């Protein structure tokens, strides 16, 4: 282990000292699309959209690609193409047969999506993961961090064989294809525990073995990582997680905004911990925050993903967040820092001009760094208030700090109210003495300051807001009731339609 740690440390230092800019962002992306189209030119998708002719004859293959290939939602991609991959057909949208499918329902839809994971995508994920590992030296972590255990809290790693392919959580696909040196020497909780299909059983086994591991890095969604750490602290009768894991110094998180959890995380620790944000989804590993001084997540432009950015406005999307036909899209060198964009990708897993549902804003266009500010389907605009998840998260964070509260979870729904409209906020807080009316007034005041459209509508169509404060466990219990318990699942920040009805009915039945 020590020898391995020294080799890793030297590699990391080498990567930190030698940084060669071999191409511009535009050139990286141009090369990436060329490689993708060349690989897929003889797939069924490539033939339909004339990839061979474009690559052999076009003077502007990027423009021709964007002109000929339509924009795809998941449903369009699945119904026209990926269903054939599930029937074990070869060469559909990517060369060969798809061996793995990641099951993903995101945060707003109940039906599981089957996202193809090719060997080329797995290699890209591993390479981007190693790049992030190398970037960790920028956070001035103790050298021993790279010689200690890495606890990955994901979904079950058990994969289910479905004829000629396997399906399951992306965590399982990742662990099955993890580099051997990481799997055998550093990876925790290990193959035996991670295969347990029931989340509660995995937690119990992790807690019982936690004192036998020397964990320095933890990865996972904040809410579930916090639950595991609290259970470890309680089980061993200690004050902080560092009493069990004295080497713990790096937490890698993603998927949701970390700010609502930061203060409560800090209370679980007695030593400084570096928080490293990552951007990974079932469709690919897009990037990570490369140093503590950077505000945004750095997109990786040369690992099998070609990006386009659609301005998230009424010209390109309808009121429900569905993309319109022939939307305007921009390339990596055409974006600005003032616009919110829906991200669209073409990948080496056979996704083509595919909208993943995330809305981003660039913090630095030269260094291609972004913030995730919401979802195309998770925003609230009943009457023109245009509330993004970013607005919501900032407002909740301000309320929590001003009122000295720990708010980990929240969600909001909009509905018709007295011939106009209203919002209903459900806020997770374990303080039984919280002043709900004060929370409501401060939240409303803060949103008025953060969002001019909201302020205008509060004087007209948005007649009222309601606030219900619930224990944090209420949110997690609801996820369990709908079969979404576990480290990969996140509570949606906005509830609409049937999703809101299910939540409201469940709360009524539980009261």
The pLDDT assigned to 181 comes to 62
* Residue at 228 is within a domain: yes
* Residue at 247 is within a domain: yes
In total, how many domains does the chain have?
2
The CATH number assigned to the domain holding 424 equals 3.30.300
Is 70 exceeded by the pLDDT of residue 21? no
259 shares a domain with 131: yes
pLDDT in tens, 185-198: 688 998 888 888 88
* Beta-bridge partners for 146: none
* Residue at 326 is within a domain: no
User: Mind giving me the DSSP string for 433-494?
Assistant: T--HHHHHHHHHHHHHHH-HHHHHHTTTTEEEEEEEEE-HHHHHHHHHHTT--STT----SE
Last residue in a domain, options 281, 301, 318 = 281
* Residue at 501 is within a domain: yes
Q: How much is the pTM?
A: 0.83
pLDDT in tens, 324-349: 999 999 999 999 999 999 999 999 99
* Beta-bridge partners for 277: 253
* Residue at 443 is within a domain: yes
Instruction: Report in angstroms the alpha-carbon separations of 391 from 322, 378, 450, 480.
Output: 21, 12, 7, 28
Q: Mean per-residue pLDDT for 352-370?
A: 96
Question: pLDDT tier at 184 (50, 70, 90 boundaries)?
Answer: low
258 shares a domain with 137: yes
Is 70 exceeded by the pLDDT of residue 210? yes
CA distance 399 to 55: 54
pLDDT in tens, 425-451: 999 999 889 999 999 999 999 999 999
Q: Which residue has the higher pLDDT, 373 or 252?
A: 252
Is 80 exceeded by the pLDDT of residue 109? no
Arithmetic mean of pLDDT over the chain: 89
The CATH number assigned to the domain holding 219 equals 3.40.50
Question: pLDDT tier at 157 (50, 70, 90 boundaries)?
Answer: confident
* Residue at 400 is within a domain: yes
Is 90 exceeded by the pLDDT of residue 64? yes
* Residue at 81 is within a domain: no
Last residue in a domain, options 250, 281, 312 = 281
136 shares a domain with 260: yes
CA distance 378 to 380: 7
**Phi, psi at residue 416, to the nearest 5°?**
-70, 140
Last residue in a domain, options 228, 262, 281 = 281
Do 290 and 433 touch, CB atoms closer than 8 A? no
267 shares a domain with 151: yes
Rg (CA), the chain: 23
Instruction: Report in angstroms the alpha-carbon separations of 89 from 53, 95, 164, 168.
Output: 24, 11, 10, 19
275 shares a domain with 406: no
276 shares a domain with 143: yes
Range of the domain at 185: 127-160+178-281
């Amino acid at each position: 282990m020590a020898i391995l740690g020294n080799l890793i440390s030297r590699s990391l230092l080498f990567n930190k000292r030698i940084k060669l800019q071999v191409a511009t962002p535009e050139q990286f992306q141009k090369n990436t699309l060329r490689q993708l189209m060349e690989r897929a030119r003889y797939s069924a998708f490539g033939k339909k959209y004339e990839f061979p002719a474009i690559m052999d004859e076009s003077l502007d293959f990027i423009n021709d690609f964007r002109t000929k290939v339509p924009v795809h939602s998941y449903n369009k991609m699945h119904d026209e193409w990926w269903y054939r991959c599930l029937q074990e057909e070869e060469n559909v949208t990517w060369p060969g047969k798809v061996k793995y499918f990641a099951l993903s329902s995101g945060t707003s839809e109940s039906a599981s999506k089957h996202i193809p994971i090719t060997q080329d995508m797995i290699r890209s994920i591993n390479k981007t993961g190693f790049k992030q590992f190398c970037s960790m030296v920028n956070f001035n972590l103790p050298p021993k961090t790279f010689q200690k255990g890495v606890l990955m809290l994901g979904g079950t790693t058990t994969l289910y064989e479905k004829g000629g392919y396997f399906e399951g959580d992306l965590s399982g696909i990742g662990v099955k294809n993890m580099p051997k040196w990481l799997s055998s020497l550093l990876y925790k909780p290990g193959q035996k525990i991670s295969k347990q299909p029931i989340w509660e059983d995995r937690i119990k086994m992790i807690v019982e073995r936690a004192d036998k591991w020397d964990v320095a890095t933890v990865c996972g969604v904040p809410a579930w990582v916090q639950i595991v750490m609290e259970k470890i602290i309680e089980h061993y009768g200690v004050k902080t997680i560092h009493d069990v894991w004295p080497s713990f110094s790096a937490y890698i998180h993603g998927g949701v905004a970390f700010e609502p959890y930061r203060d409560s995380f800090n209370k679980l620790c007695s030593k400084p911990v570096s928080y490293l944000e990552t951007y990974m989804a079932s469709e690919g590993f897009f990037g990570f925050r490369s140093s503590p001084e950077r505000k945004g997540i750095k997109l990786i432009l040369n690992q099998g993903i070609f990006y386009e950015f659609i301005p998230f406005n009424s010209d390109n999307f309808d009121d429900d967040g569905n993309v319109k036909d022939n939307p305007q899209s921009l390339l990596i060198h055409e974006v600005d820092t003032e616009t919110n964009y829906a991200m669209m990708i073409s990948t080496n897993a056979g996704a083509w001009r595919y909208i993943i549902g995330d809305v981003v804003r660039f913090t630095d266009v030269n260094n291609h760094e972004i913030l995730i500010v919401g979802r195309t389907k998770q925003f609230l605009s009943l009457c023109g208030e245009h509330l993004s998840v970013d607005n919501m998260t900032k407002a909740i964070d301000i309320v929590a700090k001003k009122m000295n509260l720990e708010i980990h979870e929240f969600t909001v729904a909009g509905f018709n109210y007295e011939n106009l409209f209203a919002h209903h906020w459900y806020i997770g807080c374990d303080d039984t003495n919280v002043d709900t009316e004060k929370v409501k007034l401060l939240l409303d005041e803060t949103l008025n300051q953060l969002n001019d459209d909201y302020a205008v509508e509060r004087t007209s169509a948005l007649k009222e807001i309601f606030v219900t404060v619930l224990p944090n466990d209420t949110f997690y219990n609801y996820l369990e009731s709908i079969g979404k318990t576990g480290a990969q699942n996140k509570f949606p920040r906005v509830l609409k339609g049937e999703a809101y009805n299910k939540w409201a009915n469940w709360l009524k039945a539980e009261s």
